Structure 1
């Protein structure tokens, strides 16, 4: 399955939006769709 992610490839560089290939859920696992999320501005420094 394909998904998009904001990835930090280097410290102190902007996040890059990339498309990733992920395996689907395995037996006994579930797939959860996240509809919204938040981020604190201080997360940019961790």
Structure 2
């Protein structure tokens, strides 16, 4: 399991960064989309 930093859109013009733990890049993106909605993950990078 690795940690990923996601840039997520909360509303029009508002974004936030979150950290999730996942098995892969794609799984991290899916976790973000499950929490904030499809298409709301703008960018993700591996933190560790």
Band of TM-score, shorter chain: 0.3 to 0.5
Which is richer in strand?
2
After TM superposition, the score normalised by the length of structure 1 is 0.38
Q: Tell me: higher relative CO, structure 1 or 2? Use CA pairs within 8 A at least 6 residues apart.
A: 2
After TM superposition, the score normalised by the length of structure 2 is 0.37
